[in-house]
Structure 1
Amino acid sequence: MDRVVGAGDRKALAAAAITVVLWASAFVFIRAAGEDFSPGALAFGRLLTASVALVAILIVTGEGMPARGAWRGILISGVLWFGVYMVALNWGERYLDAGTAAMVINIGPVLIALLGGLVLGEGFPARLMAGIAVSFGGAIVVGLSNSGGGSAAILGVVLCLTAAAAWAVAVVAQKPTLAHASALQVTTGGCVVGTIACVPFAGQLVSEAASAPLSSTLSVLYLGVFPTALAFTTWAYALARTTAGKMGVTTYVVPALVVLMSWIALREVPTPLAVVGGLLCLAGVAITRSRPTKPEDAPPEDAPPPRIPNRT
């Protein structure tokens, strides 16, 4: 029975899978839209689109406003993750290709796991730390395979590291918030807060949208509806059902998916090194999600079953 995955765990895994696929696609669409939209304008357009969609869903479902206890985490995640993260990532991808940006951003799960252990008391399980090590190594390999020989601009790396740090702090703040509000409420609140934080870029969005081609405008709308409104909600749903450390490490699959999507959308053929890195990413995630086949203190298979005392 220890190997049987519960229904709740299966739902969390499915939500996490949706999240990483959509987030991987975001790196490709950011690169595409970034040719016509500045970092702040792209973030504001993406967040505004997501906020409209999420508020509409919140009204239709009748969930209402989050409880008072949720607002501290919503404000922190809204400013850092929906605001700082998105602007910094958009800016960083002006200097880094999508694969390299995805690799640098994946410093975030390491910070999430460490902060989760320190702040949330999640501890540092051996399998989690081993999975982090393997997946982080795979992320580095994927990034190196797509980095043009390590010639990425220092500014782009710094911006992506800034985004990763903002993401990590926001996730640790978001985790306890989910005890007071639903995934939809937390995501909607954070998205609205991030949109308000990016209002100074509204003028840039209007002027740039007027001259941008339809394909770039559609990319902004896609980023708002799918990698933001949908994927951030499925992330929050899964985060509420597992630890921040385990959720963070699932995103190590993203660099491999980014390389694959770039191959399909941009006709870039992944190198053998990228394939190796992608397999390492998947192996690390498998380690963190696996369970020991037999507890260390389990009796031998041929041992008689323990006697159950009569509790009368």
Structure 2
Amino acid sequence: MTKLYGSLEAGGTKFVCAVGDENFQVVEKTQFPTTTPYETIEKTVEFFKRYEDRLAGIAIGSFGPIDIDQNSQTYGFVTTTPKEHWSQVDLLGLIQKEFNIPFYFTTDVNSSAYGEALVRKNVKSLVYYTIGTGIGAGAIQDGKFVGGIGHTEAGHVYVPRHPRDYANEFTGVCPFHNGCLEGLAAGPSLEARTGIRGELIEQNSDVWDIQAFYIAQAAVQATLLYRPQVIVFGGGVMAQEHMLRRVREKFIALLNGYVPVPDVTEYIVTPGVPENGSATLGNFALAKQVSER
């Protein structure tokens, strides 16, 4: 009987559940809104139960912060998230207890980074950012995730504010930090500045240059901290081609030739896995990995 692998991309807005075959081809995929923990986890379990007799493993890539320390009493928990009702929820434990198979637990951006590395030939160091409702990043060095006692939280680093934000005393929308990358550059910051939802803002609006200024800073940070072969920007904000151009231009100006990098059109890119499937592909591979241990 063909083995199947499970993927859960647990996002703050929606949960994406999928099962894939041994070639990591999707057998079935579904998604539903992230509501209360009880309702959302129940739907997740129901989906995977249909394949229980063939599942060899499941990987979960979750919104965070999460506890990934296997020696911790709260391993598998969503911890200090601003997502209502989800703080200190035992996400892994509540799903895992329903199955007798191994699980892999990491961040959603780590899952995406792993998937992106799989489809890029000879790439062993990569940083993946999602720029959407929130901002997070996963980094891979020599095929392994970067992290220690916990995962990185690249969306909550402090960044110099754009002159216009400084003049307007705009410090962002993050409930934890004034002036962090997520608060200043995630999707909700667009509406906070303009009163207009991001997808309705004209491409020639100056607000996109403000946004690109911050995202380019993220690319500079990734370059200097990790020296990756590729930086991938995913998420709704970066789905527009004009944003990629703006970010590349501002990155070149901010880095100012300090260290060598590849051609910027090959260095700063959008996802290589179609249809936002990076995390699903990465999870299939991580589920196979944990099933073979």
Output the TM-score relative to the length of structure 1.
Answer: 0.23
- Larger strand proportion, structure 1 or 2? 2
Instruction: State the structure with bigger RCO (CA 8 A, min sep 6), 1 or 2.
Output: 1
- Bigger radius of gyration, 1 or 2? 1
The structure with more helix, counted as a fraction of residues = 1
